[in-house]
Copies of this chain bind each other. A is one copy, B any other.
Amino acid sequence: MELPINKFNKAFENRIRLGVMSILMVNDWVDFGTLKEMLDLTDGNLASHIKALEAEQYIEINKRFINKKPNTSYRATFLGRNAFKEHLNVLENIIKQNE
């Protein structure tokens, strides 16, 4: 018997990291403030989950200044996109079996 659950990616088992990735899958370069607002998080919390995704090399970071203010943006890497798609495939199979 198959065990699709064991193909889950630990990096995406948390709702915040899943949220960050799902935003970055459809938006190129999203900045810290936008993510923070969209996900309604404290900045420490968001930063720590971003760090976890960065450690897996699932997202990359770009720091610059906009209107003389620091602005950090993130986007999903190729590796991250593929890993996320894999994870969604597992979920899709679970969904399919319930249709």
Contacts and interface: CB of A to CB of B under 8 A. Distances in A.
A23 to B, nearest CB: 9
Interface of A: 1, 3-6, 8, 13-16, 18-19, 22, 25-26, 38-40, 84-85, 88, 91-92, 94-95, 97-98
Copies of this protein in the assembly total 2
Main secondary structure of the interface of A (DSSP, over half): helix
A6 B26 CA distance: 18
A6 B40 contact: yes
A26 B92 contact: no
B97 A25 contact: yes
A98 B94 contact: no
B94 A92 contact: no
Contact of A92 (B6, B38, B95, B97): B95
